[in-house]
A and B are shown apart, each in its own frame.
Chain A
C-alpha cells in the first residue's frame, strides 16, 4: 500500500489522531531509515496500541508486539520476545527458521545475542513493547538495555509504549517521544459518533411506516446519539471516567434506557428536549459510571406502572455483606469481634464482666455518665478504623455475650478460621507463623456497623448497647 493510502485509511479509522499517524509514518517506512528507538506515551485509551498495531500491519514492515500484561515475570518477557520475533520472521520470510539455537533466553544478554542472530542479514524489523512500564518483576537494567539495542542491531527498531514519558529511566538522552494526548470533549464525541447504536432494535414495520427507511433510521440514530453523548459527557463523564472507554461504557449503559420512551412510542425520534426532561433521572445517579459484573436490573419494571423511581441511588441500600444465614455461634463471634475491634480493652470490665446477679452490663445508648463525657465532640467510634485484638479477648467477649456456657470445642476455632477465609475477620499480627490460631496473632474485623447491627438483631443482641460511646441513629 502507498504511504498516502495508509494515512488515509488510518485517519478514517482513528479520527483525531492525524498528527500521531503522520509521525509514525515518517519514522517507520519501508524505504527510509527508521529511528532505533521511540517512546510512545499517553494515558489509557488514547489509541496507542491500536494505532501502532494497525499502522505496522499496513506498512508491511515485519514486526512483533509483546504485551507486558501477558508476561508474568521479566524472564517471561524475554522468552516471549524471542518466540514472537521468530513467529513474525517465519511469516515474513515464508520458511520456518531453525529454532534450535533459541531454546533459552535467560537474561538480557541472551536476548541481544538471539536478536542479533535472528536479524542478521534480514531487513528492517520493528519490536514493540506494549505497556513495558507495567511489567511485573522487571529487572532494573532491562529498560536502559533495550534502549541501546537499536544501536547494536542496525536493522532493529524498538517502540516502547508507556503511560508516562520516560525522560530518565532509559539513561539515554535524546530519545524521540510520541505523545498521544488525552482526547478533548470534541474528539471524544467525534470518535464515538463513528458507530452510533440503534434506537430500534427491531426496525418498525415497513407497512406501518413505509417512509421510515433504513437510511432515515440511521440518520436518526446518529443525530440522537450525538446529542445524547454530549449530555452524558457534560453531566457524568466529565467528572469521572473521562477516558474514551469509560465514556463509551457509561453511554452504552444508559442508551437503551434513554431511548425507551421512543421505542414505546411516547416521543418522536427528534424530540430531544422532551426526552431529556423525561429521562433526566438517568443523569443524576452515579450508577451508570460504576462498573458492575451483574448489569443493574433494567428499570423497565419500575417505570412500567408509570412511577418513576424517586431515588436513583437505591441499589446501594440493598447491599448485603453476606447473603446466607451464618451459624448461631459464628454470628456471635462476629459480633464479639466487632466489639473487640471498636471498644478499648480497658472498658471491657465495665461492659462484659458478669456480675453475680447475672445482670448484663448493657449501657443504654445515651447515658449521661461514662467515658464519652468530654468537652470535645468526638468522632463516633464506629466511624473509625477497627483496631486489632487478640484471640483470647475475642473469645472472652464472645462468652460474655452468650447466656449459657459454651463448651470449648474445636468447632469454635474452625469457625474463626472459616470467617478468616471469608475475609470477615482479617489477621494482622503474627503473620510470620504458620499457625493460624497462634496466641500472639492479632485480628481485625472487615465489615461495618450497619451490617453488624443487623446481624445482632437477628440473634437478639442490640450491638449498640455494648459499644463504648454508643451510636447515634
Chain B
C-alpha cells in the first residue's frame, strides 16, 4: 500500500446474476387515467382559485401601502432630490415564498402605476457587473415586448459609434427616454443573501444616476429593518430614505389558506386529519413557507387521483358507461364498503347485498347517491367547525385555538367528546345578554344552508327582553357565577362556606330560559354534525389521508438512508446471507456484507482520528481472504475511497497515516 499507488482490480466474473424480483399480477393502474386527470384538473383549479384570492387578500393591505408609497415617490420632491426612495419590505424568514410575493407585487405595481418594475435576486447578482447586466437585460427585453417603436435605434449607440457596454446604465437611460416610466422600481428580492459590498456599490451607483433615472428601491428583508441598516456601510444609508412595510406573517397566511382550501365547505376531495396535521406541523417546525404548503396540498390531490382508481367517481356528472368494471371491483374491496355490507348483513338485507355484489349498475347508483350524501355530511362538519370557531372568537375564549386545530379535531372524529367543546358550551350557558347579541350578529356570516338554527328569532326575542329590562346592566343567565354569592356562617365553631343562588329577577329568568334553549339547540347541532368522517361509507374516495407519499416526496432523509444502507445493508439488499444475524437491528459484521458497509461499521466504532493500518487489519480479519491478500486490499482501498467520496473521512493533517472522521451517525 505504501509503495504502490494503484492497482488494476479485476473482479471475478460472477456467473449468476441476481434475479430481479418483479411484481407479476399487474392490475391496470392506468385505468381511466385520462378521465381521472381531467377530474383532478377540475378539482385543483377550483382550489387554485381559492388560493389565489386568499393570497391576494392577505397581501392587499401591505401591497396597497407599497403602491401608495411608489406613487408618492414618483412625484419629484424638490426638497429632497438627493435620496433614493426606498421601501423596506419585512417579509419574514420564509425566503422561499419571496418569489411569488414579489411577482404578485409586481403585477399590482404594473397595473396600478406607470412604473417599470424589475426584480433582482441574489443568485443572479454575485457581483456588481452581473447585477447590472441582468438589470439592463431585464429592462430592455421587457421594452421589446411592449414597445412598438422598436425600429428606432437605441439612443447613442446609433450609427455604429461607440457601443455601450452591456452593463452600462446608459441602456436604461435610453430605454427610459423612450418609455418615460414614472419611476423605475427595482426590487431586491432577498437582500440578506446579497453580498453587502454589492449592495453598497449598487446603491452608490444608483444614487449617482438619480438625476437621470428615477429609481425607487424595494428591499425584501427577512430579519429586520435595523439589521439591514447595520449591514450597509459608508454613505449608503444617507442615499436612501423611505418606509418600512410589514408583510402578513406566514403562519397567519397558512391559517387563512387552510380555511379556504382544506376546511372549506365546498370541495370535492377532502384532506384527512393525519395528513393535515403533518403539513401543519412541518410548517411550524421546519419551513414556514406558503409555497411548500400549497405544493403539499397539490401533491395530495395528484396522488389521490393518480393512485386511487375509485377517485373517478368524484368526477362531476359521471355516467355508468364511463366507469370501468375495475373501479367497481375496487370499490367492493374498500373497508368502508365491507363495513357497510356487514351492517346490512346484520339487518338481514341479503337481497340488497347480493345486488350490490353482482350488479355494477346497481352499485353505481348506490355510489352516486351515497357520495352525494357523504359530501353533505362532510360539508356540514366544515361549516360547524367554522361556526364553532366563530363562537369561540366572539366569546373570546382563551386560549384561542386556531381554526385548523379545531378542524383537525373534528376531522378525526374527536370533537364531540373533547373538553374544548364542553368548555365552549359552558361559556355559552353563562353568556350575558350584551355578548349574546354580539354573538348572534357575528354568526350571521356563517353560511345559512345546512343550518337549522333560527338565529333571527333568537335575536328578536333577545331584543325584546333587553328592551323591557329596566336596568342598564346586561341580563345574566342563572349559570353566570356573578349570580352566585358566597355566604359564610359559623355553625358549631366551623366556618361553612356555602354557595347560594341569588334570587333571579323575572327578566333574568326569562333570559336564562332563552339562553338555555339556545345552548341546547347548539349542543344538539354539534352532536349530530360532528360525526367521525372515517366512518362514512366511501370515505376512502372522498378523503385523502396517507402521510407516507408526502413524507417521501417532501421530507426525504438522505443522510439517514445512506447511514442505514451502510450500517445495515441487509435492510436494502434483502439478501439471505447477511440477514441471518438474528437480533433485530444490529446486524453483526460479516464478510458477506459489501466492503464499504463493512468498513463503515468499523469506522463507527473508532474515534475521531483513525489509524488506517489498524483499520486495515480489522478489515482483513473479518472480510479477509487468506489466499489473496491483494484482493482484500483492493476491496479495502475502494471502500475507503468511497467513504472519502461520501465525505465521511478526510486525510488528517495531524498524522500522516491517519484519517479524520468527519461525520457521526444519527445526526
**Any B CB within 8 A of the CB of A206:** no
Which of chain A's residues have a CB closer than 8 A to the CB of B555?
407, 409-411
Which of chain B's residues have a CB closer than 8 A to the CB of A102?
161-162
Which of chain A's residues have a CB closer than 8 A to the CB of B167?
72, 76
Which of chain A's residues have a CB closer than 8 A to the CB of B286?
327-330, 409, 411-412, 414-415
Which of chain B's residues have a CB closer than 8 A to the CB of A390?
662
**Any B CB within 8 A of the CB of A438:** yes
Contact in complex: A103, B162 (CB < 8 Å): yes
Bound-state Cα–Cα, A327 to B128, Å: 33
Which of chain B's residues have a CB closer than 8 A to the CB of A86?
161-162
Contact in complex: A70, B208 (CB < 8 Å): yes
Contact in complex: B560, A319 (CB < 8 Å): no
Contact in complex: B557, A327 (CB < 8 Å): no
Give the distance to chain B from A437, nearest Cβ to Cβ, in Å. 9
Contact in complex: A99, B159 (CB < 8 Å): yes
**Any A CB within 8 A of the CB of B244:** yes
Give the distance to chain B from A149, nearest Cβ to Cβ, in Å. 18
Give the distance to chain B from A110, nearest Cβ to Cβ, in Å. 11
Bound-state Cα–Cα, A160 to B95, Å: 45
**Any A CB within 8 A of the CB of B132:** yes
Say whether, besides A69-B208, A100-B159, A293-B88, A326 and B237 are in contact (CB < 8 Å).
no
Contact in complex: B288, A422 (CB < 8 Å): no
Contact in complex: B225, A99 (CB < 8 Å): no
CB-contact partner of B558 in A80, A396, A410, under 8 A: A410
Which of chain B's residues have a CB closer than 8 A to the CB of A231?
none
**Any B CB within 8 A of the CB of A423:** yes
**Any A CB within 8 A of the CB of B111:** no
**Any A CB within 8 A of the CB of B590:** no
Closest to B650 in A: A440
Which of chain A's residues have a CB closer than 8 A to the CB of B556?
409-410
Bound-state Cα–Cα, A323 to B89, Å: 11
Which of chain A's residues have a CB closer than 8 A to the CB of B558?
410
1/0 per residue, CB under 8 A from A, across B188-228: the answer is 00101100000000001100110000000000001111111
CB-contact partner of B161 in A103, A320, A414, under 8 A: A103
**Any A CB within 8 A of the CB of B655:** no
Bound-state Cα–Cα, A440 to B644, Å: 12
Which of chain A's residues have a CB closer than 8 A to the CB of B122?
421
Number of interface residues of B (CB under 8 A): 72
CB contact list, A80-119 vs B, under 8 A: 80, 82-83, 86-87, 98-100, 102-105
Give the distance to chain A from B461, nearest Cβ to Cβ, in Å. 45
**Any A CB within 8 A of the CB of B574:** no
Bound-state Cα–Cα, A418 to B122, Å: 13
Contact in complex: B663, A439 (CB < 8 Å): yes
Contact in complex: A324, B92 (CB < 8 Å): yes
**Any B CB within 8 A of the CB of A135:** no
CB contact list, A400-440 vs B, under 8 A: 407-412, 414-415, 418, 421-424, 438-440
**Any B CB within 8 A of the CB of A193:** no
Give the distance to chain B from A421, nearest Cβ to Cβ, in Å. 4
Contact in complex: B132, A72 (CB < 8 Å): yes
Say whether, besides A415-B286, A439-B663, A407 and B162 are in contact (CB < 8 Å).
no
**Any A CB within 8 A of the CB of B422:** no
Which of chain B's residues have a CB closer than 8 A to the CB of A330?
93, 286
**Any A CB within 8 A of the CB of B591:** no
CB-contact partner of B95 in A136, A290, A399, A421, under 8 A: A421
Closest to B646 in A: A439
**Any B CB within 8 A of the CB of A284:** no
Contact in complex: B241, A439 (CB < 8 Å): no
**Any A CB within 8 A of the CB of B517:** no
Contact in complex: B223, A76 (CB < 8 Å): no
Contact in complex: B90, A323 (CB < 8 Å): yes
**Any A CB within 8 A of the CB of B546:** no
Which of chain A's residues have a CB closer than 8 A to the CB of B238?
245, 249, 291
**A-B residue pairs, 5 tightest by C-beta:** A99-B161, A291-B237, A324-B92, A411-B286, A395-B667
Given contacts A294-B244, A319-B226, A418-B93, 14 further A-B contacts (CB under 8 A): A69-B208, A72-B128, A80-B168, A292-B229, A293-B86, A293-B241, A325-B251, A326-B288, A329-B285, A329-B286, A408-B563, A418-B95, A421-B122, A422-B95
Q: List 20 A-B contacts (CB under 8 A).
A: A70-B169, A99-B162, A102-B161, A291-B238, A294-B242, A322-B227, A323-B224, A323-B246, A325-B249, A325-B288, A327-B287, A328-B284, A396-B664, A399-B667, A407-B557, A409-B286, A411-B555, A415-B287, A422-B95, A423-B223
